[in-house]
Amino acid sequence: MTPESLPELGRPGKVIAVHINYPSRAAQRGRTPEQPSYFLKPSTSVAASGDTIVRPSGCELLAFEGEIALVIGRRLRGVSVEEGWAGVAGVTAANDFGVYDLRYADKGSNLKSKGGDGFTPLGPRVLAAETVDPANLRIRTWVNSELVQSDTSADLLFNFGRLVADLSQLMTLERGDVILTGTPAGASVVGPGDTVEVEVDAPTMPGAPTTGRLITRVAEGTQKFGTFGSGPKVDDLQRAEAWGSAEEAGLEPAFVLTDELKARINSVGTATLSAQLRKRGLNNVSIDGLHSTRPNARLVGRARTLRFIPNREDLFDAAGGGHNAQKRAFDSLGVDDVLVIEARGETGTGTVGDILALRAQVRGAAGIVTDGGVRDLAAVSALDMPTYHHGGHPAVLGRRHVPWDLGLTIACGGASVQPGDVIVGDADGLLVIPPHLIDQLVTDSIEQEREETFIAEMVGEGFSVDGLYPMNPAWKERYRAWLASR
């Protein structure tokens, strides 16, 4: 199908949207569907790039969702999963806007909350389906020029062919119909004066084809809702879902790694923290096999994540140059951040060198953790900031890696790491601690080390460890007396 024969983006007969399709969004929502589910958006909700969306008067929670849209190329009914993609004429960028203030009135239909005029911007260009790989499309969204969503179609829960086939089991899909294929994590709330941009591209294809940026500006509505229908109504649950989390919505205090908390963490060893994590059923929270450039230095900070994929020349040409994901990650570091890098344990090249490591230190980062190699190891080791690594190597990044994405859950040294996790490291190793556990974990660790100090004193005085380690009731009574005397 040539670009000239692609369906127009004017007024599709149907707009069908998928609820959850990206693993990152499923993790954010706390549920992963076994099968896709859908809702309809009116064709009158379709808008063009450059149009303005009006947040209805009295509404608080207008949320954007950047998406890849499929444009159906021919009449389809009862096609197989294998045939589904062949029925797609092209892909374009979409923004699935909605007002969470009206979700309660929809009873699950999303008609009022997502069906408003202008609530489905599409465009500005359609990429012909035969010119792109459906498993290697990239979706990105910016709010006021800040990148807030970035993901690919590589790991969708339900691929494009499956969506088309599933829908065609019950309904006829017609030329020009549009399927919105879900949004990744990062969707949130915008307000009057904001500008949202969405782009779909194929960075791995020759020429890196792109839809261009779909631009939507937000304005405040003035027409009030009548008394003859459901009006806006919100609660904290809707606020949390619209913003992405209770923390983002301002409903819970954001976790802050204060100087006091850092001092408490530094007062206990990683071995003690590990024991307390194990008591809570967390056994797989250590990043293993790495060496520190400053083995006597303590590392405490919050994780920022960066993922490298195995090098493929065309992918590196598309994503490896310029201000790539690696450079963006280092430029975005702040005080107490720990950049954790997924390098798949690949030791045959460097993942960071002296310039970027210096950039991290200048920006106040607490450290770097990579399960790959380090270039310019002597210079990196001379920095005050510790870097945990798998060994030195003189080769540049592109020998083995493509810098691919940041801000996602990654694997490093055999451990899963999420952005915001607390990273603690010393000579005993590295731990990944969920932030909601850290305060009580440290409190219990401090108590554990007090007990162990007492036990060590008793052992030093010649007592047997039998009944003392761990303490039986008699020894616990002596421990309480020992505490009171100090």
Q: What is the pLDDT, as a whole number, of residue 79? A: 96
Mean model confidence pLDDT for the chain: 93
Residues 376 and 472 in one domain: no
Q: What is the pLDDT, as a whole number, of residue 8? A: 65
Say if CB 327 and CB 354 are below 8 A apart. Answer: no
> Is residue 424 classed exposed, middle or buried when 0-12, 13-18 and 19+ CB atoms within 10 A define those classes?
buried
SS3 assignment, position 290: coil
Q: Give the residue among 6, 167, 9, 1 at the shortest CA–CA distance from 81.
A: 167
Say if CB 231 and CB 175 are below 8 A apart. Answer: no
Q: Return the residue matching tokens 């197989």.
A: 80
pLDDT tens, position by position, 301-354: 999 999 999 999 989 988 888 888 899 899 889 999 999 999 999 999 999 999
pLDDT tens, position by position, 109-150: 999 999 999 999 999 999 999 999 999 999 999 999 999 999
In a domain, 259, yes or no: no
Q: CB count, 10 Å around CB of 218? A: 19
Q: Return the residue matching tokens 């791995």.
A: 204
| Residue-number span of the structural domain to which 410 is assigned | 285-433
What CATH number did the domain enclosing 49 receive?
A: 3.90.850.10
Measured CA to CA, the distance from residue 304 to residue 437 in angstroms comes to 18
Say if CB 181 and CB 69 are below 8 A apart. Answer: yes
Torsion of CA 400, 406, 412, 415, to 10 degrees: -150
DSSP type of residue 173: B
| Residues 6-15, mean pLDDT to the nearest whole number | 80
Q: What is the pLDDT, as a whole number, of residue 255? A: 83
In a domain, 177, yes or no: yes
In a domain, 249, yes or no: no
Q: What DSSP string describes 100-157?
A: GGGHHHHTT--HHHH-STT-EEEEEEEEEGGGS-TTS-EEEEEETTEEEEEEEGGG-S
- Do you know the residue count of the chain? 486
Residues 203 and 301 in one domain: no
Measured CA to CA, the distance from residue 118 to residue 459 in angstroms comes to 75
CA distances from 338 to 232, 298, 332, 361, 376 (A): 42, 12, 11, 10, 19
In a domain, 255, yes or no: no
In a domain, 331, yes or no: yes
pLDDT tens, position by position, 391-415: 999 999 889 999 998 888 899 999 9
Q: Which residues pair with 291 in a beta bridge?
A: 389
Phi, psi (degrees; rounded to nearest 5) at 373? -90, 170
Q: Which residues pair with 197 in a beta bridge?
A: 142, 215
pLDDT tens, position by position, 411-434: 999 999 998 999 999 989 999 999
Q: What is the pLDDT, as a whole number, of residue 7? A: 66
Q: What DSSP string describes 337-381?
A: EEEEEE-TT--SSBS--HHHHHHHHHTT--EEEESSBBSSHHHHH
Q: Which residues pair with 146 in a beta bridge?
A: 143
Residues 368 and 462 in one domain: no
**Domain endpoint, select from 214, 243, 272:** 243
Residues 121 and 216 in one domain: yes
pLDDT tens, position by position, 276-309: 999 999 999 999 999 999 999 999 999 999 999 9
The pair of structure tokens assigned to 127 is 């990429």
SS3 assignment, position 328: helix
In a domain, 95, yes or no: yes
Q: Return the residue matching tokens 């204060």.
A: 258
SS3 assignment, position 165: helix
| Residues 56-67, mean pLDDT to the nearest whole number | 97
**Domain endpoint, select from 390, 409, 433:** 433
pLDDT tens, position by position, 228-245: 999 999 999 999 999 988
Q: Is the pLDDT of residue 4 over 50?
A: no
The pair of structure tokens assigned to 225 is 């809702």
Say if CB 465 and CB 404 are below 8 A apart. Answer: no
What CATH number did the domain enclosing 401 receive?
A: 3.50.30.40
Order across the sheet with 146-152: list the strands: 52-55, 214-220, 195-201, 138-143, 146-152
In a domain, 457, yes or no: yes
- Domain count for the chain: 3
Residues 226 and 290 in one domain: no
Where residue 407 falls (left for φ over 0; alpha for ψ -120 to 50; beta otherwise) is left
Say if CB 341 and CB 352 are below 8 A apart. Answer: yes
Residues 234 and 367 in one domain: no
Measured CA to CA, the distance from residue 447 to residue 139 in angstroms comes to 48
- Amino acid sitting at position 399: R
Angle at 105 between CA 104 and CA 109, to 5 degrees: 95
Residues 326 and 361 in one domain: yes
Residues 417 and 451 in one domain: no
Residues 93 and 239 in one domain: yes
DSSP type of residue 255: P
| Residues 376-381, mean pLDDT to the nearest whole number | 96
Report how far apart the first and last C-alpha atoms of the chain are (Å, whole number).
Answer: 83
Say if CB 331 and CB 349 are below 8 A apart. Answer: no
In a domain, 272, yes or no: no
Residues 337 and 410 in one domain: yes
Residues 102 and 24 in one domain: yes
Q: Is the pLDDT of residue 28 over 90?
A: no
Residues 218 and 89 in one domain: yes
DSSP type of residue 285: -
For the chain, what percent of residues have pLDDT higher than 90? 84
**Domain endpoint, select from 391, 407, 433:** 433
